[in-house]
């Protein structure tokens, strides 16, 4: 979205978000109602697919009631969006392996839960799963009963945002080492443990990642006009804090999904294969992640994790 068009769309967006109707906004700005509606929803889709809107998935069709219901989340995404000056679509930050390693060093230095947060960061970039899906992962999704890592796992339907199972791979030795270190810490602290030796002494159905107090990350359900949405603000807050360490403009959880999609594309994966791994059936959603794909990006993401 070009900067000038963005400025106008932003004003329209804020007007409607603050309670004005499409009709009143159109009259105020001297535009046709259909133009106002189109520009507002176009900006909303851009925020969902480029920055990421907490509690709203990238493939969800934005409606005016949804925008108002999730006003704070859209405003936060808007604050992180920087329109490009050349008229092209913003691709969003693509993190390099050096930046990822820098983030891991910052976590070790500043995070009060360094093992967990390092594991969360690497899981995000190694799997391409959404934050709430990671919050729903259980020990049995990562470990076999005898304690080995499930390198080829499955994201259960009840954990997936779209309620459809899909492949889940724990093939990154770096990410697995971080998760293992965190699980060893959990055992030492008796968080989610059992007297059984299976699953390394951890309860199979306990969450893979826990809160500071050893409880599950809180997930709340919201129902709007028969539609159910789930939100885990805690995990988004953790990722937001982690990304703030980087000082890289536009770096969000969506950047991880974009990095995974870009890496797969650079290695020759078909669009359908990328969609299968990331839980996207709509080709447009996949194209959003790969917008202005440049094969040279493989340099940045080849050995990311």
Q: What is the pLDDT of the chain when averaged over all its residues?
A: 84
* Single pTM value for the model: 0.74
Q: Is residue 104 part of a domain?
A: no
CB of 117 closer than 8 Å to CB of 238: yes
Alpha-carbon gap, residue 166 to 45, rounded angstroms:
24
Q: Give a yes or no: residue 105 inside a domain.
A: no
Please state the domain count of the chain. 1
In a domain, 282, yes or no: no
Q: Which domain holds residue 38?
A: 3-71
In a domain, 121, yes or no: no
pLDDT at residue 199, rounded to an integer: 97
Residue 259 CB partners (closer than 8 Å, separation 6+): 94, 95, 125, 128, 301, 304
Backbone angles phi, psi at 9, to 5 degrees: -60, -35
Give pLDDT, residue 228. Answer: 65
Long-range contacts, stretch 211-215, CB < 8 angstroms, 24+ apart: 212/112, 212/113, 214/186, 214/189, 214/190
Q: What is the predicted pLDDT for the residue at 69?
A: 87
Relative to beta strand 152-155, strand 166-169 is antiparallel
List pLDDT tens digits, range 125-168: 999 898 999 999 999 999 999 999 999 999 999 999 888 899 99
Question: Does the pLDDT of residue 259 top 90, yes or no?
Answer: no
User: Is residue 46 a part of any domain in this protein?
Assistant: yes
- Predicted confidence at residue 85, as pLDDT, reads 53
- Residues 285-294, mean pLDDT to the nearest whole number: 64
Residue 286 lies in a domain: no
- Going by C-alpha positions, the residue among 293, 274, 294, 295 that lies closest to residue 283 is 274
Domain membership of residue 67 (yes or no) is: yes
| pLDDT tens-digit series, residues 236-250 | 889 988 888 877 666
- Is residue 78 assigned to a domain? no
pLDDT reading at 45 higher than 80 = yes
d(CA 103, CA 208): 21
């Amino acid at each position: 979205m070009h900067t000038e068009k963005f400025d106008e769309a932003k004003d329209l967006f804020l007007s409607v978000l603050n309670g004005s109707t499409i009709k009143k906004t159109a009259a105020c700005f001297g535009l046709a109602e259909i133009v106002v509606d189109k520009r507002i929803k176009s900006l909303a889709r851009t925020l969902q697919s480029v920055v990421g809107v907490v509690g709203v998935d990238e493939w969800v069709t934005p409606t005016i009631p949804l925008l108002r219901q999730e006003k704070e989340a859209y405003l936060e995404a808007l604050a992180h969006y920087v329109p490009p000056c050349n008229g092209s679509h913003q691709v969003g930050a693509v993190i390099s392996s050096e930046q990822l390693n820098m983030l891991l060093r910052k976590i070790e230095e500043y995070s009060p839960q360094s093992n967990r947060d390092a594991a969360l960061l690497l899981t995000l970039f190694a799997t391409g799963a959404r934050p709430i899906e990671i919050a729903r992962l259980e020990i049995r999704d990562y470990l076999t009963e005898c304690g080995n890592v499930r390198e080829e796992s499955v994201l259960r339907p009840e954990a997936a945002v779209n309620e459809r199972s899909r492949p889940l791979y724990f093939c990154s030795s770096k990410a697995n080492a971080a998760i293992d270190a965190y699980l060893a810490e959990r055992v030492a602290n008796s968080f989610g443990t059992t007297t059984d030796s299976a699953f390394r002494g951890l309860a199979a159905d306990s969450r893979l990642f826990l809160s500071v107090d050893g409880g599950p990350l809180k997930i709340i359900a919201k129902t709007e006009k028969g539609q159910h949405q789930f939100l885990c603000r805690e995990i988004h807050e953790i990722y937001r804090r982690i990304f703030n360490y980087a000082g890289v403009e536009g770096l969000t959880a969506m950047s991880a999904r974009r990095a995974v999609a870009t890496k797969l594309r650079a290695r020759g994966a078909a669009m359908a294969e990328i969609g299968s791994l990331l839980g996207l059936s709509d080709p447009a959603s996949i194209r959003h992640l790969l917008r202005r794909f440049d094969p040279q990006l493989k340099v940045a993401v080849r050995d990311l994790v």
